[in-house]
C-alpha cells in the first residue's frame, strides 16, 4: 500500500509532490486525504493523464511547499481568509494556510 501512495504523493527536500511517479498507463487516478508533514490532508485527481486539481486541508496553522504538477497557469481559491501565496518558483508554491482552511489548486 505504501508503494501505491508513493506513486501518488511524495514528500522530500521540504516539498510535497503530487503524482510524481504515476505510470503512463494510469490515465485516471485520484486519492483522498493522504496525510503529509505539517498536518495537511491532500486530495488530488488526474484525468486523461493530466493533473486536474489538488485540494489541501490544514489541520493546524502552517506553511506547505507543494509541487502540484498542474498544466498551465495555477489558479487557487480558499475556504477561509488568511490563505496566502508566499512564493512561486518553477512550479513549486509556498502557501500559508490557517487551521481549518481548505485550499483548491487548479491549472488552466
Residue 97's pLDDT is: 97
Give yes or no for residue 79 having a pLDDT over 70. yes
Q: Report the mean per-residue pLDDT for the chain.
A: 93
- Please report, for the domain that includes residue 93, its CATH number: 2.60.40.1180
Q: How confident is the model at residue 1 (pLDDT cuts 50, 70, 90)?
A: low
Domain with 29, as residue range(s), is 2-107
CA angle 18, 86, 70 (to 5 degrees): 30
Q: What is the pLDDT of residues 43-59, one digit of tens each?
A: 999 999 999 999 999 99
Who wins on pLDDT, 23 or 2?
23
Tally the domains of the chain. Answer: 1
Q: Which residue, 67, 55, 68, 69, is CA-closest to 97? A: 55
Amino acid at each position: 500500500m505504501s508503494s501505491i501512495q508513493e506513486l501518488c504523493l511524495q514528500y522530500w527536500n521540504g516539498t510535497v509532490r503530487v503524482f510524481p511517479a504515476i505510470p503512463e498507463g494510469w490515465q485516471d487516478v485520484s486519492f483522498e486525504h493522504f496525510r503529509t508533514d505539517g498536518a495537511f490532508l491532500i486530495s488530488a485527481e488526474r484525468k486523461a493523464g493530466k493533473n486536474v486539481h489538488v485540494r489541501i486541508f490544514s489541520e493546524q496553522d502552517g506553511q506547505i511547499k507543494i509541487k502540484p504538477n498542474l498544466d498551465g497557469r495555477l489558479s487557487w481559491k480558499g475556504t477561509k481568509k488568511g490563505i496566502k501565496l508566499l512564493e512561486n518558483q518553477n512550479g513549486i508554491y509556498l502557501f500559508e494556510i490557517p487551521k481549518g482552511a481548505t485550499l483548491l489548486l487548479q491549472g488552466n
